[in-house]
Structure 1
Amino acid sequence: MSVLANVINYILDMGAAVFMPLLMFVIGLLMKMKVKDAFKAGLTIGIAFTGMSLLIDFMGSTMGGAAQAMSKNTGITLPAVDVGWPGAASITWAWPLAFLVFPLQVFINIVMLATKQTKTLNVDLWNVWNKIFSAVLVSYFTGNVILGFVAASIFIFLELKLGDAWQPEVERLTGIPNVTVPHFISLFAVILYPVDQLLKKIPFLNKELDSRAIRDKIGIFGENSVMGAIIGLGLGLLAGYEVKESLILSVQAATALTLFPMVSKLFSEALSPISEAVSDYMKRKHGQDSDIYIGLDWPILGGRNELWVAVIITIPFLLLFSLILPGNKVLPFAGIINLSFVVAALLLTNGNLLRMIIHGIWTAPIFLYGATYFAPYLTRLAKETGTLASGQNMIGWSTFEGPIVRYLLVNGFNGDILSIVGFFVFLAVFVLLLRDRKKYNQQLSAE
């Protein structure tokens, strides 16, 4: 058992920038690609992940720095230190049984592919930590580790089903064939879906309003660089920066929004030949109707500026809610860049920027209360694994991923009737969302 744990931990410790190129190289060879083509594709995807990671870190340090300045200007301190998703992930990987969820995900994925329950081959194995964290929470609430692994299995199943549903939209947004994003954060679309259905009944919000449509409507002010400059300047002034610092932030934001699409093109360059090779191989082996989708981490969507514009604009609202909500214990800091809503919102709204922003605003209290509710359990895990930093009494995660579905699942497994009913309601909405996406995908295919 310890040997398996060491092997898995060694592989995952390399990170996506190394692990993904190796995996893509192997997949390319298995799909009968030439060695040089498979190597180039694998290396390019490593470059793409590294470039996207650098830009995300850059965005976090510049925009996040301004947001943190806004927090400090209030003079308010809250008891739980926000460690963000990187902190939560590193703590989760330290759980002694974490390595067992890795083969569990692979096994469930293979079974679902073999039984034609999914077309998604999820190679985003590093993000298995989300399922590990869910297993930890359920085991804490119930005292039963087995139930924790059952919970992880449920999320693996739901992710793969939703990965199938997202594939045409991911292809439309990225231009990369046969790839999808079966990431845990996309499950938040189930919570957004009923509200989004109401928003679409408002004529102004039901029109196409992605970056391209905005550019067509307002000209130069819709350009990525100009939008970034305006938003960066506004955020700098809200943070209390001097004019010079605000102008620097303005240029930094313009830089990020300009470079994101450029780096995103590397994903297309790397993944298009691999996805085509996989598609050709499946059709040769199993007929013309056989397809397989490569499930990847959300950064392949990072070239869509709607994602970053929505995140930046909703930062002040997240901070405001953290200050005024009664009972909130987490002040946004490391988790201030709220990716926990925006990926799902991008996919669900088909890039409609206004609806994405609205979703970011109305869901902010949900994340903060979720962070507050689960802070004691994240702190307990950090203490048990020896990863709690010196001087920290309580830690949280201001943009806690999947707060509602995790709340329902952990309390449902603990026997709470309302949570059990709530989880079945969640599953019912999940089915409705899948049906809606099926109609949309058929329409997209026809067009």
Structure 2
Amino acid sequence: MDTVLAAFKFVQGLGPSVMMPIIIFILGVILKTGVGKAIRAGLTVGIGFIGLNLVIGLMSSNLGPAAQQMVERYGLSLSVIDVGWPAAAAIAFASTVGTVIIPLCLLINIIMLLTNTTQTVDVDIWDYWHFAFTGALVAIITDSQIFGIIAAVLNMIIIMVIADYTAPALEKTNDLAGISLPHGFSGAYVPIALIINKMIDMIPVVRNINIDLNKIQNKFGVFGEPVLVGSVLGLIIGIVAGYDIGPVLTLGITLGGVLVLIPKMAAMLMEGLLPISDAASEFIEKRFKNRGKIYIGLDSAIGIGHPITLAVSLILVPLTVFMAVILPGNKVLPFADLAVIPFMFVLIIPMVNGNGFRALVTGILTIAAGLLIATNLSPLMTTAAINAKFKMPEGAMAISSICDGANPLTWAIVHLSDIGVIGVCILAAVALIMAVMNRKRIMKEADELHAVNDN
């Protein structure tokens, strides 16, 4: 077992741009796409991830200092420091739950596939850290590693069902065929988006408001294109941050470029995944007649290129800082994770059918709630960091993050588990009901698909 864990840790440590090509190549060989095609698919996916990471890094490195400048300019003094998702991931993987999370999640995925309770082959091993993070916090609050591991498993099952449920809408909105996003952060906001969307449907006049960038682009031509939208939002953020004219212009052009480049990098990643996705569907069709469509589960980075996702996220960067100041009860100073706000919207956008107004309303409400959640979970995350021997920022007494410290699903799982056995049983019942309902949907889809093929 130690050897197996060491092997997983080695592959995980290579990072997504190296890890994913290896996984895609192995999948391609297993699915009999041919060694040449498997190598090409793996390398193309790796290059796509490199491109995405470069562009996301460009966005982060420009948004981060702007956010810090806003904080300094307006003299904000909040006691909990947002240390960002890389720190959260490191803390998660350094926990006891983190040491077993990869083989455990792979096993759960196989069981769910065999029992028809999921359609997703989750190859995004790196992002298993989201489940480990939840498990690590549960282990602390319950003083039980067993409860922590159970919580991580139940978190994954819930997210896998959400990934299946959102895949058709994701394909329609983002043109990502054969892809699902079993992402612990992005998936957590789907139930909230559905509830808010339903509430807006009940409000006359408001329910008719729709901000659609495609329609705006058709109406205003070049002034509605993502490059202009991103540039204008970048200029506004720079002005609010108090930048001089040069840095303001640089930020504007950079964020305009981000809105153009991310979809292109995602398209390259999709090019590599297409033969694997087709082979997986063919493999399942031949060997398992009672299965529906199969999805390849990937990182949410592939979905942040939607223009509404990026536009709404950029609007929310200064709004998040403003809300952190005025929100009663909030102690979190948002900083390092402001650049991950687009990941929050990847699955919200399909749930509101690409409506920018509804996405913005959902975003304001979820970020406000998220800041309070991050404040509430900060003592647990701080303890987890100390246990993992994480080097705390100078002067920081408490830390948190937007991803996953503000995650509503993580918060619900942690506090249900804190009740004890009863809470864990309630959580297990919810996960089981979701899995059974998902199985019924999958079987119905499979029957319909085979009826069409027979005709």
TM-score, length-scaled by structure 1: 0.90
Q: Percent identity?
A: 30
Taking the TM superposition and a 5 Å limit, the aligned residue runs for 1:231-270 are 231-270=233-272
Q: Report the CA distance between 1:417 and its aligned residue.
A: 11
Q: Report the CA distance between 1:292 and its aligned residue.
A: 1.7
Find the counterpart in structure 2 of residue 292 from structure 1.
294
Structure 2 residue 374 is matched with structure 1 residue 374: no
> Hey, what's the Cα distance between the residues in 2 that align with 1:423 and 1:210?
38
Q: Report the CA distance between 1:189 and its aligned residue.
A: 1.1
Q: Report the CA distance between 1:277 and its aligned residue.
A: 1.4
Which residue identity lines up with residue 196 of structure 2 in the other structure? V
Find the counterpart in structure 1 of residue 355 from structure 2.
352
Find the counterpart in structure 1 of residue 365 from structure 2.
362
Q: Report the CA distance between 1:85 and its aligned residue.
A: 1.0
Which residue identity lines up with residue 68 of structure 1 in the other structure? Q
**Distance change >3 Å, CA 17–CA 422, structure 1 → 2:** same
Q: Report the CA distance between 1:181 and its aligned residue.
A: 0.7
> Hey, what's the Cα distance between the residues in 2 that align with 1:358 and 1:425?
31
Structure 2 residue 88 is matched with structure 1 residue 85: no
CA deviation string 1:237-269 (max 9, x = no partner)? 111112222112111111111111211210221
Instruction: Give 1:303's match in structure 2, choosing from 282, 302, 305.
Output: 305
Find the counterpart in structure 2 of residue 136 from structure 1.
136
Instruction: Give 2:413's match in structure 1, choosing from 380, 405, 409.
Output: 409
Find the counterpart in structure 1 of residue 338 from structure 2.
336
Higher alpha-carbon deviation: 234-243 or 91-100: 91-100
> Hey, what's the Cα distance between the residues in 1 that align with 2:345 and 2:293?
28
Find the counterpart in structure 2 of residue 182 from structure 1.
182
Which residue identity lines up with residue 167 of structure 2 in the other structure? Q
Instruction: Give 1:279's match in structure 2, choosing from 263, 278, 281.
Output: 281
Find the counterpart in structure 2 of residue 192 from structure 1.
193
**8 Å contact 2:159–2:183 — kept in the other structure?**
yes
Structure 2 residue 122 is matched with structure 1 residue 122: yes
CA deviation string 1:130-152 (max 9, x = no partner)? 11111111111111111111111
**Distance change >3 Å, CA 219–CA 424, structure 1 → 2:** farther
The alignment partner of 2:65 has SS state of: helix
Which residue identity lines up with residue 320 of structure 1 in the other structure? F
**8 Å contact 1:205–1:354 — kept in the other structure?**
no
Alignment length, in residue pairs?
A: 440
Find the counterpart in structure 1 of residue 44 from structure 2.
44
Q: Report the CA distance between 1:128 and its aligned residue.
A: 0.8
> Hey, what's the Cα distance between the residues in 2 that align with 1:425 and 1:353?
35
**Distance change >3 Å, CA 114–CA 418, structure 1 → 2:** closer
Instruction: Give 1:383's match in structure 2, choosing from 386, 397, 401.
Output: 386
Structure 2 residue 151 is matched with structure 1 residue 147: no
Provide the alpha-carbon RMSD of the alignment: 3.0
> Hey, what's the Cα distance between the residues in 2 that align with 1:398 and 1:289?
37
CA deviation string 1:2-56 (max 9, x = no partner)? 3333222111001111111111111111111121111111100001111111111
Q: Report the CA distance between 1:344 and its aligned residue.
A: 2.9
- Structure 2 spans left out of the alignment, 5+ residues: none
> Hey, what's the Cα distance between the residues in 1 that align with 2:117 and 2:295?
13
> Hey, what's the Cα distance between the residues in 1 that align with 2:424 and 2:241?
43
Q: Report the CA distance between 1:79 and its aligned residue.
A: 1.8
Q: Report the CA distance between 1:124 and its aligned residue.
A: 0.9
Which residue identity lines up with residue 399 of structure 2 in the other structure? I
> Hey, what's the Cα distance between the residues in 2 that align with 1:324 and 1:425?
38
Which residue identity lines up with residue 188 of structure 1 in the other structure? Y
TM-score, length-scaled by structure 2: 0.89
Higher alpha-carbon deviation: 151-160 or 167-176: 167-176
Q: Report the CA distance between 1:402 and its aligned residue.
A: 5.7
Higher alpha-carbon deviation: 410-419 or 139-148: 410-419
Higher alpha-carbon deviation: 284-293 or 81-90: 284-293
The alignment partner of 2:335 has SS state of: coil
Structure 2 residue 108 is matched with structure 1 residue 108: yes
**Distance change >3 Å, CA 255–CA 217, structure 1 → 2:** same
Find the counterpart in structure 1 of residue 399 from structure 2.
395
**8 Å contact 2:304–2:346 — kept in the other structure?**
no
**8 Å contact 1:177–1:276 — kept in the other structure?**
no
Which residue identity lines up with residue 372 of structure 2 in the other structure? Y
> Hey, what's the Cα distance between the residues in 2 that align with 1:418 and 1:102?
27
> Hey, what's the Cα distance between the residues in 1 that align with 2:411 and 2:231?
39
Higher alpha-carbon deviation: 398-407 or 45-54: 398-407
CA deviation string 1:111-164 (max 9, x = no partner)? 111111111111111111111111111111111111111111111111111121
Q: Report the CA distance between 1:416 and its aligned residue.
A: 7.5
Structure 2 residue 67 is matched with structure 1 residue 63: no
CA deviation string 1:290-332 (max 9, x = no partner)? 4321111111113212111111101122111111123322111
Which residue identity lines up with residue 411 of structure 1 in the other structure? H
The alignment partner of 2:332 has SS state of: coil
**Distance change >3 Å, CA 200–CA 420, structure 1 → 2:** farther
> Hey, what's the Cα distance between the residues in 1 that align with 2:123 and 2:182?
10
Find the counterpart in structure 2 of residue 74 from structure 1.
74
The alignment partner of 1:81 has SS state of: strand
The alignment partner of 2:296 has SS state of: strand
Higher alpha-carbon deviation: 316-325 or 409-418: 409-418
Q: Report the CA distance between 1:59 and its aligned residue.
A: 0.8
Q: Report the CA distance between 1:430 and its aligned residue.
A: 7.2
CA deviation string 1:355-408 (max 9, x = no partner)? 111111122221111111111111111111211236343211145456333233
The alignment partner of 1:294 has SS state of: strand
**Distance change >3 Å, CA 68–CA 114, structure 1 → 2:** same
Find the counterpart in structure 2 of residue 163 from structure 1.
163
**Distance change >3 Å, CA 402–CA 241, structure 1 → 2:** closer
**Distance change >3 Å, CA 116–CA 98, structure 1 → 2:** same
**Distance change >3 Å, CA 220–CA 419, structure 1 → 2:** farther
**Distance change >3 Å, CA 157–CA 418, structure 1 → 2:** closer
> Hey, what's the Cα distance between the residues in 2 that align with 1:285 and 1:15?
33
Q: Report the CA distance between 1:94 and its aligned residue.
A: 1.3
Higher alpha-carbon deviation: 127-136 or 325-334: 325-334
CA deviation string 1:331-363 (max 9, x = no partner)? 111011224531231231122212111111122
> Hey, what's the Cα distance between the residues in 2 that align with 1:360 and 1:254?
21
The alignment partner of 2:36 has SS state of: helix
